[in-house]
Amino acid sequence: MIFNRRNFIQTSALATLGGIILPHNSYSKMKNGVQPVKGLKLSFEPYNLQLKHVFTLAGSSRSTTPVMLVKIEFEGITGYGEASMPPYLGESHESATKFLSALNLQQFTDPFRLEEILEYVDITAPGNAAAKASVDIALHDLTGKIMQQPWHKIWGLSAEEAPVTSFTIGIDTDEVVREKVREASEFKILKVKLGRDTDKQMINAIRSVSEVPLCVDVNQGWKDKQMALDMIHWLKENGVKYVEQPMPKEQINDTAWLTQNSPLPIIADEALQRLTDVQKTVGVYSGINIKLMKCTGMREAHKMITLARANQMKVMLGCMTETSCAVSAAAQLSPLVDWADLDGNLLISNDRFDGVKVVEGKITLNELPGIGIQPV
Amino acid sequence: MIFNRRNFIQTSALATLGGIILPHNSYSKMKNGVQPVKGLKLSFEPYNLQLKHVFTLAGSSRSTTPVMLVKIEFEGITGYGEASMPPYLGESHESATKFLSALNLQQFTDPFRLEEILEYVDITAPGNAAAKASVDIALHDLTGKIMQQPWHKIWGLSAEEAPVTSFTIGIDTDEVVREKVREASEFKILKVKLGRDTDKQMINAIRSVSEVPLCVDVNQGWKDKQMALDMIHWLKENGVKYVEQPMPKEQINDTAWLTQNSPLPIIADEALQRLTDVQKTVGVYSGINIKLMKCTGMREAHKMITLARANQMKVMLGCMTETSCAVSAAAQLSPLVDWADLDGNLLISNDRFDGVKVVEGKITLNELPGIGIQPV
């Protein structure tokens, strides 16, 4: 399924593609002068985030991230959503345009039916997790605004339970790393991407200027479990609090051994995407890193947290490079988690929204309804 | 913990006990003429439900059920809750009065902080599941009213997904059973309590007047697994759809064997109460029966459904003898479950609320905010 022409024409009537309104076939329905649009009105706009610094992972570097900014309108109220699509995850402006154009949300006249609407969105095509998340986020923003409450309150959470967020220090020369760490003095925990020959050098460069707690993301970079364990012991001595995805996700037995022997919690990232993946991380990892762009949005993320907690697992909430739209959506869940890594909006120079803030390193939710944002 | 005198006096100022206002110590706070009550105001009233028919289980019979009717007021809005306390579960008017009097909800000035408030309620004393549920239900009713939406909508559910409900036919003479079955012709599935020597006679009496689908609740009544399996095969031939708690909850291996070999789903009832019990039913039962009065309310019930579904288990939603208050609260969750057994309000002659209806055997939710009830 399912990008047939009939669906595309029906729904593309609603889509704004880069500012161009596509032709539509709804003229016949409007001939009596009656506005026929009673359902949800979806529109979207491709956008490129400009990174403040070139971003280096274990394997690639880039200076922009494509996102799709999404609106769902209903009875004069607008819900905002966003899909962030870093290239290595396989989505793009093109794939998201194709996916969102194939959706007919106009058939839904009650935005509260999230279970039904998001089931329809999910089965429209496989994959497209970020594009699906953009719809989920916009619907949460919309329904929260109708209820006039932010989602952290609707979920029964207390804003002051929100954790501190880590801030990522990219791989760079010692001099640049030291400079970045000094600039990040507001943050109570810094995140470091490891998995290269220079891992210890990177930690030492940070420790030469700061005693701030650290967490590390290895992005599957270590292949040998004993070497990984030795490294984790060294990292613990150097003030690291937890380790994300130390080994390739396929090395399940090695990872389970590492988790069992590690003095630090081992968090699954690449090893899981969605709700159905949580169970297979039990007994292998200490916890999971949930990202809206991987798991299709707030609704599924909330269920994943419930499931992880029932299995006595740690929960971390992460993000991609995103505007304050998707970051604020994730932040609504943050009072439920142990650690947040919600710095995606802090890394860009062209944010389109005002939303959640980081105050003295802590995620600070506002009282705005929905996901807590305003366009700027 | 914790029924100290100070707490009791502070909070009993808010409690209406059978119509009598207790003395209170808040005079000093009011001496400037300023109303100091900014927080949640809890009050409660013991009440006895009159059963239309004497109710016979495998082991006892009775004609009334004690309940506690609860109100939580905040800024002029009232949320209603209820604790139903059939004697065999160990709670009573006395225990609920003691528990609710010990709560200081006035310290909470934001009713949306369900996680925090219900955590406080839960750790106030062990047990008291029904009394805890009464607070949970009242808070859901209150916050739903503030958001002006019913909880099934807040949870993203579609009302028409609500299932049919079973209706219980009590153990009685063949003649009375046939009469009750004829009276229950509106229902699309009937529930029969088994676990006596007369089990087949009971089914035969029903089948002599109706071909309606059946479900059976054995209340741990069968001790031998082979006999249980033979009986389940016979029940399947006689139109039974699922079997609740066939064997004693301690016979875990026998039950797991039975579930593996049974042609009908085997549902845990006495074998679980709360969220932390769900995991131990995995691999032993096909599904779980969730009751608000066992699991402390709507919030935990919602989490239990998420957890059960993640383990590919069936979910059933049950109740005690209750007014339309607690039944309507449970019904908000019903679009998520496979089977409902929400007939508790239909068995009484002195309901105090108007709420969810059964229409042609199906749970029929209304659009009223909160839990969907009005006092009558």
Regarding whether B317 and B176 lie in a shared domain, the answer is yes
Last residue of a domain, one of B114, B133, B148: B148
C-alpha to C-alpha distance for A143 and A78, rounded to whole angstroms: 9
Q: Does A312 touch chain B (CB under 8 A)?
A: no
Regarding whether B173 and B90 lie in a shared domain, the answer is no
Res A240: pLDDT: 98
Specify the pairing of strand B266-268 against strand A362-364. Answer: unpaired
For the segment A304-327, the average pLDDT, to the nearest whole number, is 97
**Range 285-304 of A in CB contact (< 8 A) with B:** 299, 303
A137 pLDDT more than 80: yes
Peptide bond into A2 cis (omega under 30): yes
A3 pLDDT more than 90: no
Range of weakest confidence among A81-85, A218-222, B58-62, B124-128: B58-62
- The pTM for the full model equals 0.88
From A115, A156, A299, residue closest to B112, measured CB to CB: A156
Last residue of a domain, one of A86, A113, A148: A148
Better-scored residue on pLDDT, A26 or A251: A251
Lookup: tokens for A201: 């050098």
Q: Is B123 exposed, middle or buried (0-12, 13-18, 19+ CB in 10 A)?
A: exposed
What percent of chain A is predicted at pLDDT more than 70? 89
* Cβ contact, residue pair B148, A153, below 8 Å: no
Regarding whether B181 and B158 lie in a shared domain, the answer is yes
Angle formed by the axes of helices B298-310 and B114-124, nearest 10°: 100
CA distance A114 to chain B (A): 4
- Enumerate the residues of chain B whose CB falls inside 8 A of the CB of residue A306: 303, 306-307
The DSSP letter of residue A272 is -
CA distance B306 to chain A (A): 6
Res A267: pLDDT: 98
What percent of chain A is predicted at pLDDT more than 90? 83
Q: Does A157 touch chain B (CB under 8 A)?
A: yes
Better-scored residue on pLDDT, B220 or A61: B220
Regarding whether B268 and B281 lie in a shared domain, the answer is yes
Q: How many CB atoms lie within 10 A of CB A28?
A: 7
Q: pLDDT confidence of A253, banded at 50, 70, 90?
A: very high
From A113, A116, A157, residue closest to B115, measured CB to CB: A157
From B115, B156, B310, residue closest to A156, measured CB to CB: B115
With residue A322 as reference, give the H or E element that holds it.
Answer: none
Range of weakest confidence among A12-16, A216-220, A289-293, B149-153: A12-16
CATH number of the domain bearing residue A24: 3.30.390.10
Regarding whether B124 and B69 lie in a shared domain, the answer is yes
For chain A, helix, strand, coil in percent to 5 are: 40, 25, 35
* Cβ contact, residue pair B112, A275, below 8 Å: no
- Enumerate the residues of chain A whose CB falls inside 8 A of the CB of residue B303: 306, 310
Nearest chain A residue to B108, by CA: A158
* Cβ contact, residue pair B154, A154, below 8 Å: yes
- 3-state class (DSSP) for residue B44: strand
- Give whole-number Cα distances, B223 to B236, B240, B258, in Å: 19, 20, 12
Residue B31 inside a domain? The answer is: no
- Enumerate the residues of chain B whose CB falls inside 8 A of the CB of residue A141: none
Regarding whether B328 and B263 lie in a shared domain, the answer is yes
- Enumerate the residues of chain B whose CB falls inside 8 A of the CB of residue A161: 116
Lookup: tokens for A205: 């460069």
Res B2: pLDDT: 36
Res B62: pLDDT: 77
Regarding whether B236 and B100 lie in a shared domain, the answer is no
Low-confidence ranges of chain B (pLDDT < 50): 1-33
Regarding whether B171 and B141 lie in a shared domain, the answer is no
Res B305: pLDDT: 98
Q: Does A137 touch chain B (CB under 8 A)?
A: no
Mutate which: B113, B277, B288, B309, vs A, most A CBs within 10 A? B113
Q: Does B115 touch chain A (CB under 8 A)?
A: yes
| ipTM confidence | 0.85
C-alpha to C-alpha distance for A328 and A151, rounded to whole angstroms: 10
Neighbouring residues of B170: CB distance < 8 A, sequence distance ≥ 6: B53, B54, B55, B56, B180, B193
**Tens digits of residue pLDDT in A9-59:** 333 333 333 333 333 333 334 444 455 568 999 999 999 999 987 766 555
**What sign does the CA torsion over B292, B295, B297, B302 have?**
negative
Regarding whether A258 and A171 lie in a shared domain, the answer is yes
For the segment A46-75, the average pLDDT, to the nearest whole number, is 86
Domain that holds residue A188: 153-375
Mean pLDDT of chain A: 90
Regarding whether A42 and A159 lie in a shared domain, the answer is no
A285 pLDDT more than 50: yes
